[in-house]
């Protein structure tokens, strides 16, 4: 078979896999999408056993900063759509671009190996197929990460990935661990349903409401970025506004942030202060020890707990491929723009970013760049050779002037505005 006619394999039919397929199709690159579930949507398919969304999940970035570049979210949707609307949006996207017929559902990838410059994919059941190239797009929110505390807990334990509805919270003493967006959402639901709710966080964070001045807060931030207002001024403006109209974390019993605004992944929640202020959420520092049904905290306090929900993030893992093939660096692959392998010209990871805004449009730009590079290679264009040299340097700019906290959570963090700008500049070179 002519090498140019051989297929690319895209692993995953969630947001990243769908836009990867759309962009390959638009440039005539043959491909198929491998999806282990019986439907598309990835983590946004609530009925998928691997989904990490709960019944009340909504976007934390607003529509214009989340949507794909050439397929707007419907005007009838609210500023922050819920997971059912997101699922319907993905279905419409797949129909618009003829992607469903390219997806092999109920097919699980067991192993990926490199053979003679191609990628041999072994499926559950033993079937094996060689592909011209590989795009890993099955996401990094699949492998729950648990903290390691001394002692043992005698009650019930969940990870936020397993949390679906507030029924499990009712009449229990609940401890939510972790100050990410899921942790705050679940703490708010627990405040409305549990007998008592405690929220344990390791450090102080900045909290941003979903709306400011009757507009989604991320759109206000985007306007400041478009005006090219320097970081120190944006930080001062936002800090002042938050202090005046929303208050500061320590006003509600939380720890003072140990870092500047924008130096950690944003926590977007308009309700956490409300329930803290009413005493329905009781803030706690980090856990010191697990003592049966009692939890000891680092401030010396102890509480009897029935249920712990760990909203402590995910490990970045791709269990079907050896880490030696992904240029692994400590806890994640080290790739140019978090996408391009420094040596292999036919291996890509789409969606391996943690942006401070919406993700799908950014991954759409990643996929546009992937597709153009593949097309340039097989048409023997000079730009392909120049880009091959460029991607051998695995630098990814995190964000102009921003120093993110050194933590596992920020291993793949990017500032959306500069990252998007860099992707668009690279696309224009093809």
> Is 386's pLDDT higher than 70?
yes
Distance CA 194, CA 347 (A): 47
In this structure, what DSSP letter does residue 4 have? G
What pLDDT was estimated at residue 250? Answer: 92
Distance CA 406, CA 95 (A): 41
In this structure, what DSSP letter does residue 351 have? S
CB 316 within 8 A of CB 332: yes
CB 186 within 8 A of CB 31: no
Would you place residue 232 in the very low, low, confident or very high pLDDT band (cuts 50, 70, 90)? very high
CB 122 within 8 A of CB 128: yes
Closest CA to 154 of 289, 286, 285, 284: 289
Angle between helices 83-96 and 15-26 (to 10 degrees): 20
**Mean pLDDT lowest among 112-116, 262-266, 272-276, 289-293:** 262-266
pLDDT (average), residues 3-31: 94
**Mean pLDDT lowest among 38-47, 215-224, 386-395:** 386-395
Angle between helices 231-245 and 217-226 (to 10 degrees): 150
* pLDDT tens digits along 319-349: 999 999 999 988 899 999 999 999 999 999 9
Closest CA to 223 of 425, 62, 374: 62
Distance CA 333, CA 349 (A): 9
In Å, how far are 21, 37, 117, 135, 263 from 122, measured between CA atoms? Answer: 20, 17, 16, 15, 41
pLDDT (average), residues 95-124: 97
What pLDDT was estimated at residue 310? Answer: 98
Distance CA 414, CA 404 (A): 9
CB 415 within 8 A of CB 224: no
What pLDDT was estimated at residue 299? Answer: 97
* pLDDT tens digits along 404-424: 877 777 889 999 999 999 999
* pLDDT tens digits along 172-206: 999 999 999 999 999 999 999 999 999 999 999 99
> What's the token pair of residue 218?
């991320």
CB 385 within 8 A of CB 92: no
What pLDDT was estimated at residue 1? Answer: 47
Distance CA 78, CA 64 (A): 11
Ranges of CATH 3.50.50.60 domains, the chain: 3-143+314-428, 146-209+246-310
In this structure, what DSSP letter does residue 169 have? G
Cβ atoms within 10 A of the Cβ of 406, count? 8
> Is 3's pLDDT higher than 80?
no
> Is 103's pLDDT higher than 90?
yes
* pLDDT tens digits along 42-70: 999 999 998 999 999 999 999 999 999 99
List CB contacts of 240: < 8 A, sequence separation 6 or more. Answer: none
Rg (Cα) of the chain, in Å, rounded? Answer: 22
Cβ atoms within 10 A of the Cβ of 294, count? 15
> Is 2's pLDDT higher than 60?
no
- What stretches of 294-368 adopt beta strand conformation (E)? 294-297, 302-304, 307-310, 314-315, 328-329, 332-333, 347-349, 354-355
> Is 397's pLDDT higher than 70?
no
List CB contacts of 427: < 8 A, sequence separation 6 or more. Answer: 365, 368, 369, 372
CB 73 within 8 A of CB 62: no
> Which CATH number is associated with domain 3-143+314-428?
3.50.50.60
pTM score, whole prediction: 0.95
In Å, how far are 259, 263, 366 from 402, measured between CA atoms? Answer: 11, 6, 22
What pLDDT was estimated at residue 331? Answer: 85
CB 303 within 8 A of CB 284: yes
Class of domain 146-209+246-310: alpha beta
Q: Which helix (H) or strand (E) holds 158?
A: strand 156-159
């Amino acid at each position: 078979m002519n090498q140019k006619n051989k297929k690319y394999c895209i692993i995953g039919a969630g947001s990243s896999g769908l836009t990867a397929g759309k962009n390959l199709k638009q440039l005539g690159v043959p491909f198929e999408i491998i999806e282990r579930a019986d439907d598309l949507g990835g983590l946004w398919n609530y009925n998928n056993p691997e989904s990490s969304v709960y019944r009340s999940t909504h976007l934390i970035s607003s529509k214009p900063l989340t949507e794909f570049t050439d397929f707007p979210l419907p005007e009838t949707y609210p500023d922050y759509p819920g997971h059912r609307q997101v699922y319907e949006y993905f279905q419409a996207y797949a129909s618009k671009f003829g992607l469903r017929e390219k997806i092999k559902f109920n097919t699980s990838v067991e192993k990926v190996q490199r053979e003679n410059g191609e990628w041999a994919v072994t499926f559950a059941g033993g079937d094996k197929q060689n592909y011209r190239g590989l795009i890993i797009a099955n996401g990094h929110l699949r492998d729950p990460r648990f903290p390691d505390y001394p002692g043992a807990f005698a009650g019930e334990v969940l990870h936020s990935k397993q949390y679906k509805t507030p029924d499990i919270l009712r009449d229990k003493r609940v401890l939510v661990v972790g100050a990410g967006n899921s942790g705050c959402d679940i703490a708010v639901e627990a405040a409305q349903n549990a007998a008592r709710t405690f929220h344990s966080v390791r450090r102080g964070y900045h909290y941003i409401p979903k709306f400011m001045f009757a507009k989604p807060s991320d759109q206000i931030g985007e306007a400041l970025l478009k005006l090219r207002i320097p970081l120190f001024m944006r930080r001062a403006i936002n800090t002042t506004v938050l202090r005046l109209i929303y208050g500061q974390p320590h006003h509600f019993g939380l720890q003072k942030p140990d870092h500047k605004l924008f130096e950690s992944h944003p926590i977007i929640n308009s309700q956490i202060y409300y329930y803290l202020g009413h005493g329905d959420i009781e803030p706690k520092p980090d856990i010191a020890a697990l003592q049966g049904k009692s939890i000891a905290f680092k401030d010396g306090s102890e509480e009897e707990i029935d249920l712990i929900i760990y909203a402590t993030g995910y490990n970045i893992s791709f269990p079907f491929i050896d880490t030696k093939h992904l240029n692994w660096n400590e806890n994640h692959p080290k790739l140019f723009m978090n996408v391009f392998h420094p040596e292999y010209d036919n291996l890509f990871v789409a969606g391996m970013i943690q942006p401070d805004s919406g993700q799908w449009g950014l991954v759409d730009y990643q996929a546009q760049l992937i597709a153009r590079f593949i097309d340039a290679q097989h048409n023997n264009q000079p730009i392909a050779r120049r880009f091959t040299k460029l991607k051998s340097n695995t630098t990814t700019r995190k964000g102009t002037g921003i120093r993110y906290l050194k933590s596992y959570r920020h291993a793949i963090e990017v500032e959306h505005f500069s990252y998007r700008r860099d992707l668009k500049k690279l696309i224009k070179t093809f």
